[in-house]
């Protein structure tokens, strides 16, 4: 059985009617998975309630400053507001963001228990959230939190993060690049939001690989990057676990970028990852065209079965 970690509570992070990062993203994906030919092989799991997630706050504080965590909680508890023009906080957003982080931690546990992949279907996304501020729809840096948690497990010495979201994961990189046991690799449209992720950025331990691609790029650009850059970089690092910040906003129909991928291409990317290891946690980041977003997640899961 393939674990998908999901909760209807993730729908309670309200962003507003016209905001692209909306609850319907998750319901569209969940419906597509339930309608897929492999649906009977999916094990739907609820995330550990944050009151019972004993390690959650310690790893959250590895990724974020106490002042920032308190700020998110305070904005939510006083009725909501904005971290920036793109990043709303609703009354339940703090609780939901914590539960999303808990789901990513649960995903690590699921992968380590079976040595097979798992998928975290959660929101809000996380890869733009820096240690002391949220931005770009993101509140807490889920992939970084999951990586720090994984390193606490006795069988894990090194963790790699592959970020195939169309936007550079500035938050993830900034949080993990000082940690020698974590490697971060991102391929992303450039120029594009948030304007970071230059190829010259190598991290503090030569543990960062950024691969900016120009607008209009398609799988013919991505495929050689996987074969000649990404897989050699990850294989050389020899991770005990791979975390994929799985954003699907590189699809041609996505409204927030200008990359021309198709849903089936994410199946190909998944195959490349599986050739490296089966210990992979996929966690949802971006993707805002419901149809291609859902098809892409289905393509990812299908290759893991």
Buried b (16+ CB within 10 A) or exposed e, 164-201: bbbbbbbbbbbbbbebebbbbbbbbbbebbbebbeeee
Alpha carbon distance 180, 229 (integer Å): 20
Residues found in the chain: 305
Element (H, E) at 100: helix 93-114
Question: Are 221 and 191 within 8 A, CB to CB?
Answer: no
19 is catalytic: no
Computed from CA positions of residues 294, 271, 260, 134, in that sequence, does the dihedral angle turn out positive or negative?
positive
Which entry of 13, 127, 128, 188 is annotated as an active-site residue? 128
Question: Are 189 and 197 within 8 A, CB to CB?
Answer: no
Q: Where are the beta strands (DSSP E) in 2-114?
A: 2-5, 42-45, 81-84, 87-89
Alpha carbon distance 179, 176 (integer Å): 5
The residues facing 162 across adjacent strands are 185, 244
The residues facing 209 across adjacent strands are 185
Computed from CA positions of residues 265, 141, 42, 288, in that sequence, does the dihedral angle turn out positive or negative?
negative
> Which is nearest to 109 in space by CA: 69, 146, 134, 68?
146
Computed from CA positions of residues 143, 262, 190, 289, in that sequence, does the dihedral angle turn out positive or negative?
negative
What residues act catalytically?
128
């Amino acid at each position: 059985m393939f674990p998908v970690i999901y909760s209807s509570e993730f729908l309670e992070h309200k962003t507003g009617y016209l905001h692209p990062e909306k609850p319907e993203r998750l319901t569209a994906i969940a419906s597509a998975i339930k309608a897929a030919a492999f649906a009977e092989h999916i094990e739907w799991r609820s995330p550990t309630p944050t009151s019972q997630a004993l390690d959650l706050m310690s790893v959250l504080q590895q990724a974020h400053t106490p002042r920032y965590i308190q700020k998110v909680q305070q904005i939510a508890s006083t009725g909501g507001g904005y971290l920036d023009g793109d990043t709303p906080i609703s009354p339940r957003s703090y609780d939901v963001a914590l539960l999303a982080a808990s789901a990513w931690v649960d995903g690590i546990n699921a992968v380590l228990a079976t040595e097979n992949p798992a998928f975290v279907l959660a929101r809000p996304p996380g890869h733009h959230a820096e240690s002391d501020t949220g931005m770009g729809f993101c509140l807490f840096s889920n992939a970084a939190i999951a990586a720090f948690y994984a390193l606490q497990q006795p069988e894990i010495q090194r963790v790699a993060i592959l970020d195939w979201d169309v936007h550079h994961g500035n938050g993830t990189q900034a949080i993990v690049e000082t940690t020698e046991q974590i490697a971060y690799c991102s391929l992303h449209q450039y120029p594009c939001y948030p304007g970071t992720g230059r190829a010259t950025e190598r991290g503090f331990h030569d543990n960062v690989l950024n691969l900016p691609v120009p607008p209009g790029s398609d799988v013919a650009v991505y495929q050689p990057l996987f074969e000649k850059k990404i897989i050699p970089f990850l294989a050389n690092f020899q991770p005990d676990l791979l975390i994929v910040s799985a954003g699907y906003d590189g699809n041609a129909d996505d409204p927030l970028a200008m990359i021309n991928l198709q849903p089936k291409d994410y199946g190909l990317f998944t195959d490349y990852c599986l050739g490296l290891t089966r210990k992979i946690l996929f966690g949802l980041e971006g993707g805002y065209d419901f149809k291609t977003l859902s098809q892409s997640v289905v393509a990812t899961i299908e290759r893991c079965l």
